[in-house]
C-alpha cells in the first residue's frame, strides 16, 4: 500500500493504517531515541510516547510528504524534554574501565564531546552524522532554513575538532 494512502487513512482515524506507518519508521525512531537517551528502555518509552502523541495529533498533519520529519520532530521534542528533566550524567573513570575496549572509550569520548555542545548544535550533528539525515530533512525537522543548518553544522564541527584536539593533545600537556 502506498504511503500517501496510509497517511490519508490514518488521518481519518484508521488505527491499522497508523500502525503500518509506524512500522516503517520504528527502526529509525529507535536509533534516534537511543542516541539521545542512551538507554534501550528509555528509547522504547520514547517511541511509545511519540506513538501516542503522533496518533493524537495526526489530523493536524498538513502535508503527507512531511510525515517522516513530523514524526521525528515529535520524537526529538520528547527526547529533549526528557533530557532536561534528568540530571547530567558524568562518566567516571571506573565507568570507562567497565565499558571495555579502547574503541568503546573513543565512542564515549565522542559522545561526551557531542553532549557538551549547545543543544541546537548537538541536534544537527547527531541527526547528520549519527543518523545520516540530509540537510534538507534536518531543516524540515527543526523547522529552520537549510542555510541555518549548514552554519550550525560547520560551527558544531569546528567546536568538536577544537575540543577533541585539546583532549587528545600531547601527553603531559
What is 51-98 written as a DSSP string? HHHHHHHGGG---GGGHHHHHHHHHHHHHHHHHHHSPPP---HHHHHH
Across residues 69-81, what is the average pLDDT? 92
Query: Which cell is 30 given?
Result: 529507535
The CATH number covering residue 122 comes to 1.10.10.10
Domain boundary among the residues 77, 100, 123 is at 100
Number of domains in the chain: 2
Residue 150: the pLDDT is 93
The whole-model pTM stands at 0.65
Same domain for 91 and 106: no
Same domain for 119 and 88: no
Residue 104 has pLDDT above 50, yes or no: yes
Same domain for 136 and 167: yes
Residue 95: the pLDDT is 39
Same domain for 122 and 53: no
Same domain for 93 and 132: no
Reported as a pLDDT band with limits 50, 70 and 90, residue 167 is: low
Reported as a pLDDT band with limits 50, 70 and 90, residue 86 is: confident
Same domain for 123 and 86: no
Same domain for 147 and 134: yes
- Determine the structural domain holding residue 10 and report its residue range: 1-100
Please say whether the beta carbons of 163 and 125 come within 8 A.
no
Domain boundary among the residues 74, 100, 126 is at 100
- Give 112-127 pLDDT, tens digit per residue: 888 889 989 998 988 8
Q: Which stretches of the chain are DSSP H helices?
A: 3-11, 15-37, 40-57, 67-85, 93-99, 102-115, 119-125, 135-142, 146-167
Amino acid at each position: 500500500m502506498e504511503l500517501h494512502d496510509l497517511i490519508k487513512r490514518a488521518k481519518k482515524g484508521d488505527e491499522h493504517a497508523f500502525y503500518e506507518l509506524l512500522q516503517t519508521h520504528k527502526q529509525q525512531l529507535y536509533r534516534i531515541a537511543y542516541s539521545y537517551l542512551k538507554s534501550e528502555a528509555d528509547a522504547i518509552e520514547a517511541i511509545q510516547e511519540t506513538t501516542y502523541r503522533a496518533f493524537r495529533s495526526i489530523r493536524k498533519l498538513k502535508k503527507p510528504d512531511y510525515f517522516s520529519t513530523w514524526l521525528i520532530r515529535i520524537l526529538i521534542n520528547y527526547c529533549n524534554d526528557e533530557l532536561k528533566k534528568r540530571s547530567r550524567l558524568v562518566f567516571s573513570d571506573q565507568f570507562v574501565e567497565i565499558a571495555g575496549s579502547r574503541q568503546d572509550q573513543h565512542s564515549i569520548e565522542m559522545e561526551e564531546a557531542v553532549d557538551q555542545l549547545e543543544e541546537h548544535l548537538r541536534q544537527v550533528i547527531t541527526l547528520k552524522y549519527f543518523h545520516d539525515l540530509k540537510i534538507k530533512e534536518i531543516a524540515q525537522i527543526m523547522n529552520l532554513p537549510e542555510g541555518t543548518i549548514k552554519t550550525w553544522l560547520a560551527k558544531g564541527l569546528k567546536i568538536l575538532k577544537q575540543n577533541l584536539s585539546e583532549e587528545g593533545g600531547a601527553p603531559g600537556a
